[in-house]
Amino acid sequence: MKLLPVVTATCSLALLAAPARSAPSTGSPFYGDPPDATHPWAVHDQNRPQPKRVEPGTFSTPEQPGKPPSDAIILFDGTAASLARWESDPKPGEAAGPTKWIVKDGALECVPKSGYIRTKEQFADCQLHVEWAAPTAVQGDSQGRGNSGVFLMGLAEVQVLDNYNNPTYADGFAASVYGINPPMANALRRPGEFQVYDIVFRRPVFRDGKQIDPGRMTVFCNGVLMQDATPLEGPGGHLRRSLPVAFPEKGPLKLQDHGNPVRFRNIWYRPLPSRAIEGGTDGVLTAEAATAKRKETAAILRTDAGKLSGTAQMLRLAESLTYDKDAATAAKVEQLAAACVAGLKALSGAAAEAKKGEALAVQRALNYLARFQFVPADYAPRAALNQLIKARGWDDAKK
Ligand code: MG
């Protein structure tokens, strides 16, 4: 984590200048509930990293593919050149070669009996966007009509099938997690028109041979929800009940040749951040991971405090205590807080009034530390400061 120096400096100044009784801004470090055993961040934590900026794309229409968001990794953009990102999906022991699928009118078209294809790139948890169109000329029925498939990591299939007026078994329907879970609805357009799949995929995670997250799949078809974080029961498949198995770290995206000339366009993905169970720092963490992250944040704040002095340094060190109780830091905070109060006591008249905002900001910090038991309730600098603020009539809340 990296602190934003401009932001933190501004926050310190804003804090010192805060008027009496005003609620702290969201920039205050002494605001929401503090970090705890399984959360490395406070509620409304100003040090929590900002979401990264992504320029949104545009939505597709049946006639025209949309534009992917700025951070998307493009797997097929309608050009013959992007075919180089794909290869044949060989049998075990055989080498992959160029795919025999063709690019026609901006679409990647399955050549029946040429075999599955796969991306050269391997990835795992992702937001995946795929558009597909079944042949306009309707042939076959049930699983024989416009069948293909989108295989995440080459294992779990989101079914591609022309189910427009074409019943089939529910767990093999278009937008099913094949062999595991039917879609919630049939929102398909007519055959020949492009359908839009937006998929959020999380792979199953095992540790020491034990499943700690089954993984899940969320699927939208033409903007309509089909799968709502459906737990994976393994990779899924034909005929046999799927059983949980460990997935590899990464795998290719595969598209199925099921004997129908299904067309694809506008294929892209965005890798997803790690879940807490895989080292991410959002969500509920293990005690070990939360402690490590809290200590990391505290260390950054203490380094930052080294560049400050006086009350600003005290406040930054006090902030660090909310992430990591440390005896040496606590002693330093107490020493600086006592010096701050002594300095305030020594002032009178206009010079004292000029420090009112600072006094109230320090009071807020010390009250927060006491409220959440980072310092004792009878903390000496806090008692002295409260007395001083009361004596000077600065405690507006009591009026
Ligand atoms: Mg299929």
Q: How far is the CA of 99 from the centre of ligand 1 (A)?
A: 18
Q: How far is the CA of 110 from the centre of ligand 1 (A)?
A: 12
Residues 265 and 132: their CA atoms lie apart, in Å, by 6
Residues 364 and 354: their CA atoms lie apart, in Å, by 17
pTM of the model: 0.87
Q: Tell me what pLDDT residue 64 has.
A: 93
Residue position matching structure tokens 């879940």: 275
Q: How far is the CA of 149 from the centre of ligand 1 (A)?
A: 4
DSSP conformation letters of 34-46: PP-SS-SS-TT-T
- Read off the pLDDT of each residue in 156-178 and give the average, rounded to a whole number: 97
Q: How far is the CA of 205 from the centre of ligand 1 (A)?
A: 25
Residues 394 and 22: their CA atoms lie apart, in Å, by 13
Q: Tell me what pLDDT residue 8 has.
A: 39
Q: How far is the CA of 258 from the centre of ligand 1 (A)?
A: 6
Q: Tell me what pLDDT residue 397 has.
A: 56
Q: How far is the CA of 235 from the centre of ligand 1 (A)?
A: 13
Q: How far is the CA of 83 from the centre of ligand 1 (A)?
A: 21
Q: How far is the CA of 184 from the centre of ligand 1 (A)?
A: 18
Q: How far is the CA of 166 from the centre of ligand 1 (A)?
A: 14
DSSP 3-state percent helix, strand, coil across the chain (nearest 5)? 30, 20, 50
Q: Tell me what pLDDT residue 62 has.
A: 87
In tens, the pLDDT along 326-376 reads: 999 999 999 999 999 999 999 988 999 999 999 999 999 999 999 999 999
Residue 24: closest CA among 327, 368, 299, 298: 368
Domains along the chain with CATH numbers: 73-278 (2.60.120.560), 287-398 (no CATH)
Contact yes or no for 380/387 (Cβ under 8 A): no
Q: Tell me what pLDDT residue 25 has.
A: 43
Say if residue 301's pLDDT is above 50. yes
In tens, the pLDDT along 94-144 reads: 999 999 999 999 999 999 999 999 999 999 999 999 999 999 998 999 999
Q: How confident is the model at residue 21 (pLDDT cuts 50, 70, 90)?
A: very low
Residues 178 and 330: their CA atoms lie apart, in Å, by 58
